[in-house]
Structures are given as structure tokens and as C-alpha cells.
Structure 1
Amino acid sequence: MYRCFAALLVPTLFLSSVNALADSDLAKKLSNPVSDLISVPFQHNWDNRYGPVEGGRKYTLNIQPVIPISIGEDWNLISRTILPVVSQEEIFPGSGDQTGLSDTVQSAFFSPKEPTEGGVTWGVGPVFLLPTGTEPLLGTEKWGAGPTGVVLKQTGPWTIGGLVNHIWSFAGNDNRADVNSTFVQPFLAYNTPTSWTYTLQTESTYDWEAEQWNVPVHFLVAKVFKVGKQTYQIQAGPRYYAESPATGGQDWGFRLNWVMLFPK
């Protein structure tokens, strides 16, 4: 039986036109990975044809708090954490079921508070891989680190940009494969005046050890809304694997993202 860690209850919403402009501004900030907006996304990912015989199932809940910290008049430090909670079944023949934490990825972007004269927003910093996997099949059992960066431009309703990082392992279990991977996330988003957001992106990873790409492509639709005084965004859409290793997801998947916002 397929198991999930979280169930979502979406209440009936009544949005006033008074909040529409503020919500659309928040939606635009969410399209910027290094905006000065505290958010806590709970990103649910389902893959029903996983592994070499396409008989496995995998559910991943990524808990992804984003916390901007002011470090002077001109700069922010943006902390972005990804803590995956995983439930998987038969990802390869005889593997059984595993449930628990996977490895944590922690990024820190140093980013100017204002865009450049050309309207470009950017940020650079370190990224760390923390071996928080609770079972061997859920993590790499390696410590890793490397550089990360993001660049984007927002013009009118459009946001276009990309986020990249590269992680090398430097310590951990000597019996496990080394980590040497590049992550590339180009994205294109369109924000409407009524706080809807349409996003097309990939979250591609190249494993230099195995010389393999994993290229899931997402088309996502999101809406910002309020319930009482709390602001949320809900986002959903399909995922298609344009390329993946035999041990990864195959064909189609689905994402549902529930984001809590804490604007200043």
C-alpha cells in the first residue's frame, strides 16, 4: 500500500480584491530564489514507475525553509535548506521498503539587496551535503561541499533565470561511491495580477562518476492566498523525465507544493 507522510486539507477560500495586489507581489517574490521573503515549502513528489524494472514507487517530501538574513545595508544572506523525507518501495528487485530521512542539502547565497542597473538579481555562496540518511538506500553516507549560484531577471510579469551548484564528497563511508554531481535548474515563470504563477523548469543533475543525466521537467501552476492572517501558496503540476538513469524515475511523476509565507 502506498504511504504518505502528510495529508493536505485545502479550505474554501474567499479572496478580496484588496489583497490581490499584495498577493501578486508575493507570488513574484516566490519566483525569485534569493528574494527577501521567509517561506517554508512542503514539497510533495510522487513517482510510480521507479527503478530498472519500472516497478518501484517513491514518495519524497522535501521540507525547504528559506530564510533571508540582512548583513548590512546592501547585502542579504539567503539560507536555503532541503531536508528530504522519503518512502520508497521496491526501487530495484529485492530492495524492499525504506522509510526515513535522506541527505540534507544546505545552501547559503550572498546576494545584493537591489538588482543591478540592468535589472539582474544574483547570488553566490557555498552548498553542503549532510549525510542525514537514516538507511543506506536513502542516503550517500558522504559529506560534501561545493559552490552554488543563481542569476535571474524579472521584467513585467516574467521571471527568467537559473540556479546551479556542484557538490564533491570529501569524507564519509569509504565503501560508498564518491559524490561528484552538478545540479542545473533553469526556470521561466509568468505571474498574473491575480497572483497565479505558471512555471516551466528542469531540475537536472549530472553524475560525473556514473556519467549519467537525470532530467525531470516540471510544468507547475501556483496560487497565493490568505486564510485569516496567514499567507500560503499552493502549487501543483506534472513532471516528465526527459532523461534518467535506469535506477531513477521513469516517464511521469507529480508534484504538489504547499508553501507557508511570512512577509515582513
Structure 2
Amino acid sequence: MKYPVYATSIATLLLCTPLDLMAQQSAEDLAKSLSNPVAALISVPFQYNYDHNIGPDNDGDRHTLNIQPVVPISITDDWNIISRTILPITHQSDIFPGAGSQTGTGDIVQSLFFSPKEPTASGWIWGAGPVFLLPTGSEDELTADTWAAGPTGVALRQSGPWTIGMLFNHLVDVADAGRDTDINTTFIQPFASYTTPSAVTYTLNSEATRDWENNDSAVPVNFVVSKVVPIGGQLFSFGAGLRYWVDSTENGPEGLGARLIVTALFPK
């Protein structure tokens, strides 16, 4: 994948060594790659989310750590498979009267994108494949207790400092793992990000979910600022931001929440 080379000011050229400029450009490219869900970059994001005002009395809150390894696999000279895994670890309290608190793993969402290594002639980057829901939740309140599968896809364009695109998936239950649970949900994630030459990225996205079984929707909007930083020879991206629930499922979270992200990067 080719990225544009940004012009630097005369002052920067005078003050920075060539190695400094190369390191800066590399960090900028890596920051842009993180905005691309099907980039050929091994990364391990740890995404923490805090939500509150949950339940009929708005007494509940939830802390979720999503472990999200991304692994690209080259299958031909022209194609990659991108494996994206989401494993949630959750602590929640009082999500409904008398619920108490629960701590444990949630259900894994596993996506596989077949993606061309180069953008199309018009500059589009895309990937498509299957998505699976695995009933790995350790508590009744943290699992759908059924298997689900469906299609997933992503399309985006990167132009200069901008990345704009959308990711989606649709899950339908395929087998019960213990109790009757009907799943028929669509997830849509439009996103836009702007990356500066100093590897700072400003990202605005939504993570809308539509539950067709219950005719219910959840629409959080997230704004995150992140930066790529080398620490002891290892590259990391650190990010922080806010989320706001524009719409929520019945007894779901409301108002403002928070998001923190630490991502370990393993460029080739």
C-alpha cells in the first residue's frame, strides 16, 4: 500500500536529521495504517470502555476491556486474509434491579477479511468475508449462549491525511449452545480520521447496532485522539476519548462514556 509523502517545512529540514525525518514518516504511516481495518500490520489493541446509566433506574455501570488482535496473512502475491478478533472482558454492576455484579469474559467476535494487497484503480481499499460469534461468555449475563455467523465487509479511501470508510457485519444464530437465543443483528461502523505528520490521529466514528428480533438500536458516537510512540524499541499507539449514546437499547447505557486505547504495533 502506498502512502503520500508529506511536504516538510524548511525549518523542520534544518532542525531534523534524515533519520529523524524517516522515523517521523514511519510513525505517521503506521498511525494511518491503524485507521485501516484491513492494513497489512500486526497490531494488538487493548480498548477500554466505560458506560453508565444502565438499567430501568439508571443505576448500572459497565467496564469493558476489548482485546482485539489483528493478524494479516499473505495467501497469494495479490491477496491477504486479515484476522480480526474481539474478546471482551467485562465487569458490570446493577444493570437491572437485583442483578448484583458480574466479572468475566464475553462472547468472541471473529472476523476474516479477504482483501487485495493494493487499492483499486480509483483508490478504494476493501475486504470481505465471514464473521462468527462464539459463545465464550463466562457468566449468563455476559453471553448470548448461542453460535452465530454471517457476512462482514469494509471499504475505505485514504487521501492525504484523511481516512474515510465504513465497516459492517450481520450475525444470525446458527446453533444453540445452552438456551434459546435468537440473534439477527446488523453492526455498522462509519469512520473518519485525520492523521498529522507527528503521528497524532483524530478519529470520529459510530458503532451502531440494530437488533432486528427486538426492533431495537444502539448508536454510540466516539471521538478519540491517539498518537504513535516508541517505548524501549517497541511501538505503541496511545489513545483517549469520549463516547456519547445518541440512541440506546431499552435499559442500555445513556449519556457520556469514556474510551482508552493502548495498541502494540508489530510492523514488518
TM-score w.r.t. length of structure 1: 0.92
Number of the residue aligned with 1:154: 158
AA aligned to 1:41 is P
Structure holding more helix per residue:
2
Name the CA distance, whole Å, in 2 between partners of 1:134 and 1:191: 38
1:242 to 233, 246, 255: 246
Number of the residue aligned with 1:195: 199
Name the CA distance, whole Å, in 2 between partners of 1:18 and 1:106: 35
AA aligned to 2:27 is D
Name the CA distance, whole Å, in 2 between partners of 1:72 and 1:127: 22
1:93 to 90, 97, 102: 97
Number of the residue aligned with 1:76: 80
AA aligned to 1:146 is G
Name the CA distance, whole Å, in 2 between partners of 1:121 and 1:85: 31
2:130 to 112, 126, 133: 126
Q: Is it true that 1:138 corresponds to 2:142 in the alignment?
A: yes
1:169 to 170, 173, 180: 173
Name the CA distance, whole Å, in 2 between partners of 1:159 and 1:60: 27
Once the 2 structures are TM-superposed, how far is the Cα of residue 174 of structure 1 from its aligned partner?
6.3
Name the CA distance, whole Å, in 2 between partners of 1:263 and 1:182: 32
Q: Is it true that 1:25 corresponds to 2:29 in the alignment?
A: yes
Once the 2 structures are TM-superposed, how far is the Cα of residue 147 of structure 1 from its aligned partner?
0.2
AA aligned to 2:223 is F
Once the 2 structures are TM-superposed, how far is the Cα of residue 175 of structure 1 from its aligned partner?
3.6
1:66-113, Cα deviation, whole Å (9 max, x unpaired): 000000100000000000000000001111110000000000000000
Residue correspondence of structure 1 range 10-89 to structure 2 within 5 A: 18-89=22-93
Number of the residue aligned with 1:180: 184
Once the 2 structures are TM-superposed, how far is the Cα of residue 252 of structure 1 from its aligned partner?
0.9
Larger radius of gyration: 2
Q: Is it true that 1:259 corresponds to 2:263 in the alignment?
A: yes
| Deviation beyond 4 Å, 4+ runs, structure 1 | none
Name the CA distance, whole Å, in 1 between partners of 2:56 and 2:74: 46
Number of the residue aligned with 2:211: 207
SS at match of 1:188: strand
Residue-pair matches, total: 249
Name the CA distance, whole Å, in 2 between partners of 1:143 and 1:173: 7
Name the CA distance, whole Å, in 2 between partners of 1:255 and 1:176: 33
Name the CA distance, whole Å, in 1 between partners of 2:115 and 2:96: 42
Once the 2 structures are TM-superposed, how far is the Cα of residue 168 of structure 1 from its aligned partner?
0.2
The 8 Å contact of residues 59 and 88 in structure 1, kept in 2 or not, is answered as yes
1:166-212, Cα deviation, whole Å (9 max, x unpaired): 00001114643311100000000001000000011000000001101
Once the 2 structures are TM-superposed, how far is the Cα of residue 248 of structure 1 from its aligned partner?
1.3
Name the CA distance, whole Å, in 2 between partners of 1:157 and 1:120: 15
Number of the residue aligned with 1:225: 229
> For residues 108 and 246 of structure 1, do their structure 2 counterparts lie closer, same or farther at Cα, with a shift above 3 Å needed?
same
Runs (5+) with no aligned partner, structure 2: 1-19
The 8 Å contact of residues 57 and 91 in structure 1, kept in 2 or not, is answered as yes
Name the CA distance, whole Å, in 1 between partners of 2:251 and 2:123: 41
Runs (5+) with no aligned partner, structure 1: 1-15
Name the CA distance, whole Å, in 1 between partners of 2:79 and 2:59: 48
Number of the residue aligned with 2:3: none
1:28-77, Cα deviation, whole Å (9 max, x unpaired): 00000000000000000011222221100100000000000000100000
